[in-house]
Amino acid sequence: MRLSQYLLPTVKETPADAEIASHQLMLRAGMIRRIAAGIYTYLPFGLRAVRKVEQIVREEMDRAGALELLMPMVIPAELWQESGRWQQYGRELLRLKDRKDAEFCLGPTHEEVITDVVRGTVKSYRQLPLNLYQIQGKFRDEIRPRFGLMRGREFIMKDAYSFDLDSAGADSAYERMYLAYQRIFKRCGLQFRAVEADTGNIGGSSSHEFMVLAASGEDAIVSCDSCDYAANVEKAQVRLPAGPRPAATQALELVATPGRKTVEEVAAFLGIELWRLVKTLLLQTDSGERLAVLLRGDHSLNTIKLCRLLGCQQVQLLDEAEVQQLSGAPAGFAGPLGLACRIIADRELSLLADFVVGANQADHHYRGVNLERDLQIGEFADLRQAQAGDGCPRCAGHLQAWRGIEVGHVFKLGTKYSEALGATVLNAEGREEPLVMGCYGIGIGRTVASAIEQNHDENGIIFPMPIAPYQVLIVLLNPKEDAAREAAQQLYDQLLQAGVEVLFDDRDERPGSKFKDADLLGIPMRVTVGGRSLKEGVIEVQARADGQQWRLTQAETADWLCCQVRQALAES
Amino acid sequence: MRLSQYLLPTVKETPADAEIASHQLMLRAGMIRRIAAGIYTYLPFGLRAVRKVEQIVREEMDRAGALELLMPMVIPAELWQESGRWQQYGRELLRLKDRKDAEFCLGPTHEEVITDVVRGTVKSYRQLPLNLYQIQGKFRDEIRPRFGLMRGREFIMKDAYSFDLDSAGADSAYERMYLAYQRIFKRCGLQFRAVEADTGNIGGSSSHEFMVLAASGEDAIVSCDSCDYAANVEKAQVRLPAGPRPAATQALELVATPGRKTVEEVAAFLGIELWRLVKTLLLQTDSGERLAVLLRGDHSLNTIKLCRLLGCQQVQLLDEAEVQQLSGAPAGFAGPLGLACRIIADRELSLLADFVVGANQADHHYRGVNLERDLQIGEFADLRQAQAGDGCPRCAGHLQAWRGIEVGHVFKLGTKYSEALGATVLNAEGREEPLVMGCYGIGIGRTVASAIEQNHDENGIIFPMPIAPYQVLIVLLNPKEDAAREAAQQLYDQLLQAGVEVLFDDRDERPGSKFKDADLLGIPMRVTVGGRSLKEGVIEVQARADGQQWRLTQAETADWLCCQVRQALAES
């Protein structure tokens, strides 16, 4: 493609409304253009990267035996009512009415539609196993769309759904998809990790997320430094340190802690370590139940674990007035002694002696608190967030912490949707069985954005070869110089002929501006044609990733580039 | 692909709710599945045909220098308000609100969005010409979705938009697209015709529709039997027969026509030919103006021509009471003599003498009416629908009538959208000029349906090779017969190796049922493996289109099929 005939509106300034590098760079490199909050047009340069990822995904889905179909974006309410999600899904589900006042939604995910397709077309176990996928625009009405394609409202997703007669079949479908996902993100040239994850509002029994590692990632993940355990912190377990609990050495004592409300303030005032101060969090569930959760001062609450334990959707902290009402003291001084509500303690409290808690009196805490002697706790549970340094739940290793961007998510759904929608098949004995399902998503646009988040420098994007919009960029220094123009043109023709994807900067611009754009666009190989080098018969090539340079003769350049590109693709 | 592992739910019975052949066959062949009125899932077999058409379209768009991008489906109301279409478009535009109550629509077409993209990225004439296209799901809330993919609500469309500095540039962009469309439909293997068309609610100065010829087509078109003139009847002109008008021979006379209301009844009662009876249509425009239109009894009114003449959006016939009020007579007896409203006559009336009109009295007509002597007409215009046998407006030939399915439409838009949205560039003199635009659509799903409408028989689909989901179907007669299974498997592997797209019917079904499915699916080449032929070392091949049969040796079959497929593709 000749840049003089292309639509590539590059921008020098960092856009004010873009917070993270990939968003800034995709706007600056003319890859995307915002049309409304969380809604973008993919410009030609950006669309090419999207298509590269789509193609890798498609090849690996096909290789894993999945069949491509295409479901609609506009979905009748009835299907979502059958599954119960019409009520449950919340406002991310954009609901609308057609001209006849019939209710529809814009599909944020397609479990209901695919289950309807399968219940209407699959009758016998002999038609199984089946795995159906699509690559399609989806819509989620995010309350805070941000970070460009990372959290958009309209976005491109690959979603696959497997159908099996039994759990063993479903497990092996899950395993095949897990391996396909490993291949996909490896082929995209990404550093990533598969982690155990919560199943959220998709449901099902277990799931893994595929996380591209990047400091700006919205997700915190942990992985073991010695085994292959890895999980989203939402889900991550930790090894309970070895017991038993030390014996009590202090007597229970009421101490004044005037104006000290935060754990840090109290610990500093009392001269104790943070872990010896036990936090009492006063909370309320979505059904109105009030309870207290006890946690070590250096730990934080994992609300997802708590919700699962309580069987609720949400918990929230009581406000000032409610804290006063329940504990009899202002916020910051609540404690378990004499508290009239359900109390649940994190497991690790069972190993703690001589600790400090709020006294349910303004400006006072208790010191020297000991279980059993001073405080009876009926419920212990794993309620805390894992963090770096925690013991691995699977082995003697320790957890490391990472930030990640979720680009894929695989779920074992079980029979949640097939039972709700009556999707059954006749088994070999002629008995009706509900289908056992799995679902498997990849955010296509988000994968492109993550690749940029992981691969850029202060000058611009550094595309991995497999998903680069073009593989080679020819920079013609001066289009008015006949010899250079002809040499560049010849190289362009040779590369096209060889099937190399090449962008030809034939614009009448200053070389400095062309090099700046070259760095910004991040095409893996940059070829400079013109100037003194060309007079010596030399063409300069530079790799965007590491800046490595080569000086080649005109005769050898095309073949050499072709080999480099093929090699880079073969290695991924 | 092995049919035993595929999702291909074929159906023997003709679905009750499908009226036309393509709709019936696409449902029966497991290509599509309805999810709501006008909303379909493309099942794997159907999606492959869709992708074939998309790929041909993409190649020809790229070849014509157009650049692919992808715009969103959910479009903010503001853009449509800027163009004025938010008010004008009617209820086919599905409007919706997001969680923050901001207004959006589902894009039925993207003139506004692309003009916004271009006004934000193109500043100078040096960035022109530009032609941008996308292949995308669109939504039109049709009041009567029907005929499957022919008139769906959610549908896949290719839409392209050209931007030029001046009309000459825009004309040449239009010409390039026109030629690209010719190549596309030819490559799809379709019988089609490009016809002049009305521009409808897209607007602009002129347009052509690409019509696939089929008896079930919703559009009536005419074409000249001697020059290349062709037009939608909505737009078609006819040659005015040679004058002058014959001299009057009859005196004006009031005649009783008791109970004769229709033109046929009156003509028969008076013993005259239909063309000698002049119809008086009493109409009202959307702004409330009432008028009468005079037409020969054998002609029909073209309301689009009339609306263009009057500068209105719609006209409708007066009801009984209004006719009585305006003409003083019941419907069926209105006439121009003494009628107190604007009267416009079709041009051909200027050549008529001694004709009959309603007398504005119940059960009476006037006979022997002659212009000037009896009746003064101030306005003559071309108001009638063209029909078979009419004179061509361009040459001495005559028009033929066809039915067609509109699969593509190209428009010269002029500056309608660029002026409304302020999309300008600086010209070579540094002056701001509004961009001159064109837009170019192809219904992808409708093209597949049209191909089936044009290519089927009583047993099923007959896919043209270039858009067939698979090129070769291997029918293994009995999977339990080792030699046959091995021969079929070997052929399957050889064909895949050679890049032939092959569906392998390896199911454990009766041969009769497999052959019925083969006819239904319409894959161009059917290969039968097994039975007595195979014992003689022979493999039978049959072409779906004409039933031609070949008996080949096992050794030669793969190569021979490969050649046949390549040849068929090369010819298209």
Positions of E strands within B86-141: 95-97, 103-106, 130-139
Chain segment A223-267, per-residue pLDDT in tens: 999 999 999 999 999 999 988 999 999 999 999 999 998 999 999
Indicate the DSSP class of residue B537. Answer: T
Contact B35 A154 (CB under 8 A): no
Whether residue A424 is found in the same domain as residue A501 = no
Residue A3 lies in a domain: no
Closest by Cβ to A41, choosing from B50, B113, B143: B113
Mutate one of A42, A48, A69 to test the B interface: name it (highest B CB count within 10 A): A69
CB nearest A74 (choices: B72, B104, B139): B139
Q: Are B73 and A154 in contact (CB under 8 A)?
A: yes
Express each pLDDT in A101-147 by its tens digit.
Answer: 999 999 999 999 999 999 999 999 999 999 999 999 999 999 999 99
Residues 6+ apart with CB under 8 A from A467: A49, A52, A53, A56, A188, A189, A447, A448, A451
Are B145 and B152 a contacting pair, CB within 8 Å? yes
Q: How many CB atoms lie within 10 A of CB A321?
A: 9
Q: Within 13 Å, how many C-alpha atoms sit on residue A418's CB side?
A: 26
Nearest residue of A to residue B42, measured between CA atoms? A70
Task: Report the candidate in A297, A279, A300 with the shortest Cα–Cα distance to residue A387.
Answer: A300
Scanning the structure block, which residue is given the tokens 């000459």? B168
Q: Inform me whether the C-beta atom of residue A89 falls under 8 Å from chain B C-beta atoms.
A: no
DSSP calls for B331-356: TT---STT--SEEEEEGGGGG--SEE
For residues A336 and A484, membership in a common domain is answered with no
Contact A247, A353 (CB under 8 A): yes
Distance from CA of A302 to the nearest CA of B (A): 28
B113–A70: do the CB atoms touch at under 8 Å? no
Q: Would residue A197 count as lying in a domain?
A: no
Chain B hits for A71, Cβ within 8 Å = 35, 41
Indicate if B474 and B449 belong to the same structural domain.
no
Cα→Cα distances A173→A55, A124, B267, B554, Å: 21, 18, 75, 37
Which stretches of A108-166 are DSSP H helices? 111-121
Q: What is the pLDDT of residues A307-358, one digit of tens each?
A: 999 999 899 999 999 999 999 999 999 999 999 999 999 999 999 999 999 9
CB A69 within 8 A of CB B42: yes
- CA distances for B13 relative to B24, B35, B43, B454, angstroms: 9, 19, 19, 21
Burial B488-510, CB ≥16 within 10 A → b, else e: bbebbebbeeeebbbbbbbbebe
How many whole angstroms separate alpha carbon B542 and alpha carbon B96? 52
Torsion of CA B210, B212, B213, B215, to 10 degrees: -120
Residues B505/B517, Cβ–Cβ less than 8 Å: yes
Q: Are residues A431 and A492 in the same domain?
A: no
For residue A276, the domain's CATH number is 3.90.960.10
pLDDT at site B313 = 87
Give how many domains chain A has, as a whole number: 3
Residue A423 · residue A118 · CB < 8 Å: yes
What's the confidence (pLDDT) of residue B202?
66
- The CATH number that applies at residue B449 is 3.30.930.10
- Shortest alpha-carbon distance between residue B208 and chain A (Å): 27
CB atoms B98 and A102 under 8 Å: no
**A171 in the same domain as A61:** yes
**B261 in the same domain as B346:** yes
CA of B91: which chain A residue's CA is closest?
A99
Element housing A316 (H / E):
strand A315-317
Which residue does chain A place closest to B71, by CA atoms? Answer: A41
Domain boundary among B351, B381, B411: B381
DSSP A201: G
d(CA B202, CA B209): 13
Q: What is the 3-state secondary structure (H, E, C) of B470-534?
A: CCEEEEECCCCCHHHHHHHHHHHHHHHHCCCCEEEECCCCCHHHHHHHHHHHCCCEEEEECHHHH
Q: Does B11 touch chain A (CB under 8 A)?
A: no
Instruction: Please check whether residue A237 lies inside any domain of the structure.
Output: no
What confidence score (pLDDT) does residue A409 get? Answer: 95
Question: Do B373 and B421 fall within a single domain?
Answer: no
Please answer yes or no on whether B47 and A69 come within 8 Å at the CB atom. yes
Beta-carbon contacts of A307 under 8 Å, excluding residues fewer than 6 positions away, are A313, A314, A315
For residues A442 and A488, membership in a common domain is answered with: no
User: Which of these, A2, A32, A5, lies nearest to A17 by C-alpha position?
Assistant: A32
Residues B41, A113: C-beta atoms closer than 8 Å: yes
HEC-encoded secondary structure of B277-305: EEEEEEEEECCCCEEEEEEECCCCECHHH
Q: Of the residues A453, A483, A513, which one is the last residue of a structural domain?
A: A453
Q: State the average pLDDT over residues A295-299.
A: 96
Q: How many angstroms separate the CA atoms of B534 and B476, rounded?
A: 11
pLDDT by position in tens, chain B (length 572): 999 999 999 999 999 889 899 999 999 999 999 999 999 999 999 999 999 999 999 999 999 999 999 999 999 999 999 999 999 898 999 999 999 999 999 999 999 999 999 999 999 999 999 999 999 999 999 999 999 999 999 999 999 999 999 999 999 999 999 999 999 999 999 999 999 998 776 667 789 999 999 998 999 999 999 999 999 999 999 999 988 999 999 999 999 999 998 999 999 999 999 999 999 999 999 999 999 999 999 999 999 999 999 999 899 999 999 999 999 999 999 999 999 999 999 999 999 999 999 999 999 999 999 999 999 999 999 999 999 999 999 999 999 999 999 999 999 999 999 999 999 999 999 999 999 999 999 999 999 999 999 999 999 999 999 999 999 999 999 999 999 999 999 999 999 999 999 999 999 999 999 999 999 999 999 999 999 999 999 999 999 999 999 999 999 999 999 999 999 999 87
The one-letter amino acid at B286: D
Q: State how far residue A139 is from chain B, nearest Cα, in angstroms.
A: 9
How far does B467 lie from chain A, in Å, by closest CA? 17
The position carrying tokens 């009835």 is: A78
The answer, for A99 touching chain B at a CB cutoff of 8 Å, is yes
Q: Which of A72, A79, A116 sits opposite B154 (nearest CB)?
A: A72
Contact B68 A47 (CB under 8 A): yes
- For residue B71 the two structure tokens come to 């715009």
Test mutation, A27, A28, A41, chain B, max B CBs within 10 A: A41
Note the pLDDT of residue B10: 96
Residues 49-78 on A with a CB inside 8 Å of B are: 50, 65, 67-76
Task: Verify that B65 and B189 share a domain, yes or no.
Answer: yes
Average pLDDT, chain A: 95
Q: Are A523 and A475 in contact (CB under 8 A)?
A: no
| Complex ipTM value | 0.91
Looking at the complex, report in whole angstroms how far the Cα of residue B568 sits from the nearest Cα belonging to chain A: 25
Residue reference for tokens 């949205």: B421
Chain B nearest-CA distance from A41, in A, is 4
Domain identity same for B170 and B72: yes
Please, are residues A369 and A356 in contact by the beta-carbon 8 Å criterion?
Answer: yes
Q: How far apart are CA B44 and CA B32, in angstroms?
A: 9
Is residue A209 one of the residues assigned to a domain? no
CB contact under 8 A, B72 and A40: yes
Nearest CB to A39 within list B33, B35, B74: B74
Q: Which of B2, B95, B99 to mutate to test the interface with A (most CBs of A within 10 A)?
A: B99
Closest CA to A213 of A461, A388, A454: A454
- Structure tokens belonging to residue A287: 């059904």
- Find the CB nearest B35 among A116, A127, A143: A116
Question: From the list A72, A91, A94, which residue is nearest B40 (CB)?
Answer: A72
Test A72 with B35 for CB contact under 8 angstroms.
yes
Contact state of B69 with A98 under an 8 Å Cβ cutoff: no
Q: Give A47's contacts in chain B (Cβ within 8 Å).
A: 68-70
Q: Which amino acid is at B294?
A: L
pLDDT at A39: 98
Phi-psi region of A211 (alpha: psi -120 to 50; beta: other; left: phi over 0): beta
Q: How far is CA B124 from each of CA B164, B167, B183, B434, rounded to the nearest angstrom?
A: 11, 17, 32, 11
β partners of residue B138: B155
Given an 8 Å threshold on Cβ–Cβ distance, is B73 in contact with A154?
yes
B518 phi, psi to nearest 5 deg: -60, -45
Token pair 């397609």 is found at A110
Q: Which of residues 113-132 of A touch B (CB under 8 A)?
A: 113, 116-117, 120-122, 127, 130, 132
**Token representation of residue B450:** 């049209």
| Sequential DSSP letters for B546-558 | T--EEEEEHHHHH
* Assessment of whether the complete model's pTM goes beyond 0.80: yes
The C-alpha atoms of residue B222 and residue B236 are separated, in whole angstroms, by 7
Q: How far is B109 from chain A (nearest CA, A)?
A: 14
Q: Is residue A325 part of a domain?
A: yes
Please state, in angstroms and rounded to a whole number, the distance separating the CA atoms of residues B444 and B257.
54
Supply the DSSP symbol for B371. B
Domain boundary among A453, A483, A503: A453
Residues A312 and A358 in one domain: yes
Whether residues B281 and B197 share a domain: the answer is no
Q: Is residue A158 part of a domain?
A: yes
pLDDT tens per residue across span A498-512: 999 999 999 999 999
> Strand runs (DSSP E) across B127-277, as ranges?
130-139, 154-164, 192-197, 206-213, 219-224, 230-232, 253-256
B121: nearest CB among A7, A65, A73: A7
| Owning domain of residue A487 | 470-571
Closest-CA distance, A340 to chain B, in angstroms, reads 40
Chain B CB contacts of A65 below 8 Å: 5
If residue A554 lies in a helix (H) or strand (E), which one and from where to where? Answer: helix A554-571
Is A236 a domain residue? no
Among residues B167, B172, B187, B168, which one has the least CA distance to residue B131? Answer: B172
Instruction: List the structure tokens of A511.
Output: 């070389």
Is there a domain that residue A205 lies in? no
Instruction: Write the single-letter amino acid at A300.
Output: S
In the block, tokens 């949400």 appear at A314
C-alpha distance across the termini of chain A, in Å = 25
CB contacts of B36 in chain A (<8 Å) are 72, 74-76, 102, 104
Of the candidates B39, B67, B102, the beta carbon closest to that of A72 is on B39
Nearest residue to A264 via CA among A280, A250, A275 = A275
CA–CA min distance B512, chain A (Å): 20
Residue A201: the pLDDT is 67
Neighbours of A58 (CB within 10 A): 17
What Rg value do the Cα atoms of chain B yield, rounded? 29
CB nearest to A42's CB, from B30, B69, B99: B69
Do A23 and A150 meet the contact criterion of CB atoms below 8 Å apart? yes
Judge whether A6 is closer than 8 Å to chain B, CB to CB.
yes
Judge if the upstream peptide bond of residue A244 is cis by omega within 30 degrees of 0.
yes
- Chain A segment 153-212 residues within 8 A of B by beta carbon are 153-154
Alpha carbons A295 and A303: distance in angstroms, whole number: 12
pLDDT confidence of residue A202: 66
Task: Find residues 471-490 of chain B whose CB sits inside 8 Å of chain A.
Answer: none
Please tell me which residue of chain A has the smallest CA distance to B65.
Answer: A5
Residue of B nearest to A153 (CA): B74
Instruction: Compute CA B243 distance to the chain's CA centroid, rounded to the nearest angstrom.
Output: 36
